[in-house]
Structure 1
Amino acid sequence: MTLYCNGRVASADDLAGALTNYGHFTSLQVRNGAVQGLGLHLQRLQEGTVELFGTALDPLQVRAWMHDALQAEGAVDASLRVTVFSRQFDFRRPLRPVAVDVLVAVAPPVDLPAIARRLRTVRYQRELPHVKHVGTFALFQHRREALLAGVDDALFVGDDGLVSEGTTWNIAFASGDTLIWPQAPALRGTQERLLQAGWGGDQQVRPVALADLTGFDAAIACNAAGIWPIAVIDGGLLANSEALCAKARQVLGAVAWQPLGA
């Protein structure tokens, strides 16, 4: 992995500011120099920067830095993580206006296989769930605990009993021909939005209670690295998840890729 800060190779001084652990990011896959949902990723970065720093972020500049990082690495396929933080941020004076910095990490491409996962539900909700912030400790710990318990990952349920999201992914359920997206405080992912826009069939966005899970016959999880079927939740089987996943992959396969270069 190579790191670039504000368009140049990151130095130790650049990275010191990231140790404050205050910032936000987006992760995306690049194929042949292009990205699916590029506008959604840039919008996420803009909105997060306003909320956390009260500062505007130039999406054209960020896009150029992403493109330049790929060019510098000689890569056309890659995983990118774009993090917005500030070397000037002082947690003792969090309202002081500061300039933000943009860290672009370039790594090998990832395409998660469509292997069915088993989940267990846990009571948890991320802080500022609508922001893809850098506070990821609890997400990784819940995944680790799920693995120790003999399943593959964790599905979050709030104190109100409503299903929200997975550790690093969104979830959708199916009942017959209807696709259901849980309505609850969560990070609205780019893949989720692309699937919703291209689905074409009957779909709903509504609250999904823990007790409702027994009424579904399929479920899929998705993030920027892929889509995969959910085979089991808390021991309950979802027999039609493979077929639902195949349809979701077909829908996403029709989404245009936007070039990073001008």
Structure 2
Amino acid sequence: MSVALLNGQPAGADDLRALALVNYGHFTSLQVRDHAAQGLELHRQRLLAGTRELFGTGLDFDSVRAQMRAAVADTPDCTLRVTVFSRSFDYRRPSEDYAPDVLVSLSPASPPRTLPLTVKSFDFLRPLPQIKHVGTFPLFHYRRQAIASGFDDALFADGTGLVSEGSIWNIGFWSQGGVVWPEAPALRGTAERLIQAGLERQGVGQQVRPVSLAELAGFEGAFACNAGGIQPIAKIDETPFPAAYEGMARLRAAIAAPLWEAL
């Protein structure tokens, strides 16, 4: 699968030079099934906010959506990524406003992730966590270190031990019939927001508060969530969690509830 459209046209190497060399931009990723996706409004909000903050300009989402439809015309099931950057961006004059370019690319659909994760914590906070930016180097670096240490992935915490997020996922904890979401700065994912809305419709209690690594043993369960779905967490550092617990069925129902909207 090698579909990549830049502003609606097939992307060439020269077109992508700025993205590769300057590495200044932002993106969103979503799962597409039968030419439809969940949470399109959340992705729209993310793309518009990121473009305004990074480039000082707006973004025509109707045009972006048309490009998304064109990209998946022959690929009804896939992982779709929309990257916003600017070929005219000049790092020597970063304060200027730049017209955005839109790259729509496809990769194979992600199957549901159901195997429990083991994760290792690291002292790190994502820079500019309000933006899903292309500066992913530290995320993958710490993930690589976690795997080298015998874990599946990396979990981040601030310098005082407050949990923030995983490498490419958000984290939540099940406690006393409800969910606790860490309050530390993190990229607020679209899956996290869809789950929160689904749990609210079920009447499941939720709270956002500081969560310390030192208190993890007091939770009944932990889970990771992103566009690929919900995955139970079996261990954080040396603290174990059950792979199956009371809340997992409610969490899966919450993420399954949002309608799939045609691109």
Shorter-chain TM range is over 0.9
Q: Distance in 2 between matches of 1:238 and 1:78?
A: 32
Cα distance in structure 1, aligned partners of 2:250 and 2:116: 15
Q: For 1:126 and 1:165, how far apart are their aligned partners in 2?
A: 9
Alignment length, in residue pairs? 258
How far did residue 226 of structure 1 move? 1.6
Q: Give CA-to-partner distance per residue, 1:105-156, whole Å, 9 cap, x none.
A: 0122112321001111110011101110000011011111101101111110
The residue number in structure 1 matching 2:225 is 222
Task: Report the equivalent of 1:60.
Answer: 62
d(CA) in 2 for partners of 1:16 and 1:50? Answer: 22
Q: TM-score, normalised by structure 1?
A: 0.95
The Cα of 1:82 is off from its aligned counterpart by 0.5
The residue type paired with residue 234 of structure 2 is A
| Matched ranges for 1:8-87 at <5 A | 8-19=9-20, 20-71=22-73, 74-87=74-87
Residues 230 and 241, structure 1, Cα contact 8 Å, conserved in 2: no
The C-alpha deviation readout for 1:24-73, integer Å capped at 9, x for no partner, is 000100011111001101110100000111010111111111011111xx
- The residue aligned with 2:207 is 204
Deviates more, 1:29-38 or 1:153-162: 153-162
Partner of residue 120, structure 1: 120
CA deviation vs aligned residue, 1:134-186 (integer Å, no higher than 9, x gap): 00011011111101101111110011321000000000001121210101110
Q: Is the 8 A contact 1:229 1:242 kept in 2?
A: no
Gaps of 5+ in 2: none
**CA deviation vs aligned residue, 1:199-228 (integer Å, no higher than 9, x gap):** 121111111112121211101100001210
User: 1:131–1:241: structure 2 CA closer, same or farther, 3 Å change rule?
Assistant: farther
Alignment-mate amino acid for residue 55 of structure 2? F
Residues 182 and 208 of structure 2 are in contact (CA less than 8 Å); yes or no, is this contact kept in structure 1? Answer: yes
Preserved contact between residue 217 and residue 241 of structure 1 (Cα < 8 Å): no
Whole-Å Cα distance in 2 between the matches of residues 24 and 95 of structure 1? 17
Offset of residue 7 of structure 1: 0.4
Note the C-alpha offset of 1:245. Answer: 3.1
Instruction: Report the Cα distance in structure 2 between the residues aligned to 1:212 and 1:243, rounded to whole angstroms.
Output: 20
Which blocks of at least 5 consecutive residues in structure 1 are unaligned? none
- Counterpart Cα distance in 2 of 1:78 and 1:220: 24
Structure 1 runs of 4+ with >6 Å offset: none
Q: Secondary structure at the match of 2:72?
A: helix
Amino acid at match of 2:30: L
CA contact (8 A) 2:220 2:245 kept: no
Q: Bigger CA drift: 132-141 or 210-219?
A: 210-219
**Which of 239-248 and 209-218 deviates more?**
239-248
SS of the residue corresponding to residue 75 of structure 1 reads: coil
Give % identity.
52
Contact 1:22–1:134 (Cα < 8 Å) also in 2: yes
1:242 to 1:32, Cα distance in 2 relative to 1, 3 A: farther
Residue in structure 2 matched with residue 249 of structure 1 by the alignment: 252
1:4 maps to what in 2? 5
Kept in 1: contact 2:155–2:167 (CA 8 A): yes
In structure 1, the residue matched to 2:186 is 186
Q: Distance in 1 between matches of 2:151 and 2:238?
A: 10
Paired amino acid for 1:28: L
Q: TM-score, normalised by structure 2?
A: 0.95
